[in-house]
């Protein structure tokens, strides 16, 4: 019955990823039924999952990010700067409160249970992010209605929430095409790895619990491939120079001995 259902859904045009979400829900239902006392399900059948090949590879080059940030409203600029540098999920940034920030020591943290992977997380703010948080703090002190959130909406009386309109407009204005906010997450991972930060440390900053998901986000772009080619060429030229110098030295020694 399950196999017939899968075939029927695929015939109607359902994507493999969509079908896998439905199958995962079915697995969950059957497992819950089997755990009841007495069991409401006598056995949990094997349910095959379909192969997915829909991994997005979107990311921001630094120039694209600067253009987007400039095109966004003022209240969104610090928000996206934090996302670009840390790779935190949008919900984590939206929900970040001043109780989770140590401004004096430049620390922002998520407590255990506040993240998708249930683990706590701490990031140290660089100079630019410290300036962002200081501006947010200064603006907060001037408001008549105090909100606990670090990043607030346009009115300043609540957290940043639905910014799809401002985002779409900014992407058009910046001339960078259609982008997703989640692209910041991939970008932050790639930038940290490029900067030479150990991958385990980068995973702790971005909040990736499993290596497989982290590797999906550690994207190799055309720029990376071009740099790899250039570095290889430089290395080989250096090797040729070393070989050439060695041969010249050997020839000089031979000539010197023959002259003696």
List, for residues 111-133, the tens digit of each pLDDT value.
765 545 456 778 889 999 999 99
Residue 198 domain-assigned (yes or no) = yes
Residue 225 domain-assigned (yes or no) = no
Residue 132 shares a structural domain with residue 242: no
Other beta carbons within 10 Å of 15 = 13
Contact 187, 80 (CB under 8 A): no
Integer Cα distance of 99 and 77 in angstroms: 21
What is the domain extent for residue 14?
1-54
Integer Cα distance of 164 and 181 in angstroms: 10
Residue 244 shares a structural domain with residue 210: no
pLDDT surpassing 60 at residue 88: yes
C-alpha distances out from residue 147 to 90, 103, 109, 160, Å: 19, 16, 18, 12
Residue 223 domain-assigned (yes or no) = no
Residue 111 shares a structural domain with residue 200: yes
Q: How many domains, in total, are found in the chain?
A: 3
Residue 189 shares a structural domain with residue 235: no
Q: To the nearest whole number, what is the mean pLDDT of the chain? A: 82
* The Cα angle at residue 186 between residues 181 and 187, in degrees rounded to 5: 85
Residue 44 domain-assigned (yes or no) = yes
Residue 138 domain-assigned (yes or no) = yes
pLDDT surpassing 90 at residue 213: no
pLDDT surpassing 90 at residue 80: yes
Residue 41 shares a structural domain with residue 66: no
Model confidence at 218, pLDDT cuts 50, 70, 90, reads low
Integer Cα distance of 233 and 62 in angstroms: 25
Model pLDDT, residue 244:
58
Residue 224 domain-assigned (yes or no) = no
Residue 143 shares a structural domain with residue 40: no
Residue 152 domain-assigned (yes or no) = yes
Model confidence at 81, pLDDT cuts 50, 70, 90, reads very high
Residue 67 shares a structural domain with residue 117: yes
Residue 126 domain-assigned (yes or no) = yes
pLDDT surpassing 90 at residue 29: yes
Helix (H) and strand (E) counts in the chain: 11, 3
Integer Cα distance of 43 and 45 in angstroms: 6
Rg of the Cα trace of the chain? 27
Model pLDDT, residue 26:
92
């Amino acid at each position: 019955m399950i196999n017939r259902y899968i075939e029927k859904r695929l015939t109607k045009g359902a994507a493999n990823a969509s079908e896998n979400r439905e199958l995962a829900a079915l697995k969950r239902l059957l497992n819950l039924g089997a755990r009841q006392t007495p069991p409401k399900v006598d056995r949990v059948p094997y349910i095959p999952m379909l192969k997915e090949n829909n991994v997005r590879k979107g990311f921001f080059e630094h120039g694209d990010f600067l253009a987007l940030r400039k095109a966004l409203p003022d209240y969104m600029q610090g928000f996206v700067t934090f996302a670009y540098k840390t790779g935190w999920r949008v919900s984590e940034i939206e929900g970040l409160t001043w109780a989770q920030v140590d401004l004096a020591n430049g620390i922002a943290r998520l407590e255990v249970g506040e993240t998708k992977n249930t683990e706590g997380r701490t990031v140290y703010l660089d100079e630019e992010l410290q300036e962002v948080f200081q501006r947010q703090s200064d603006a907060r002190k001037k408001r008549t209605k105090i909100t606990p959130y670090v990043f607030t909406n346009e009115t300043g009386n609540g957290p940043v929430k639905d910014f799809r309109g401002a985002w779409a407009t900014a992407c058009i204005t910046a001339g960078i095409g259609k982008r997703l906010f989640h692209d910041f997450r991939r970008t932050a991972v790639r930038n940290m790895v490029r900067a030479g930060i150990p991958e385990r440390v980068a995973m702790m900053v971005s909040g990736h619990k499993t290596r497989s998901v982290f590797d999906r986000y550690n994207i190799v772009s055309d720029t990376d491939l071009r740099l790899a080619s250039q570095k290889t060429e430089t290395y080989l030229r250096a090797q040729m120079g070393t070989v050439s110098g060695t041969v010249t030295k050997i020839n000089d020694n031979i000539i010197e001995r023959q002259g003696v």
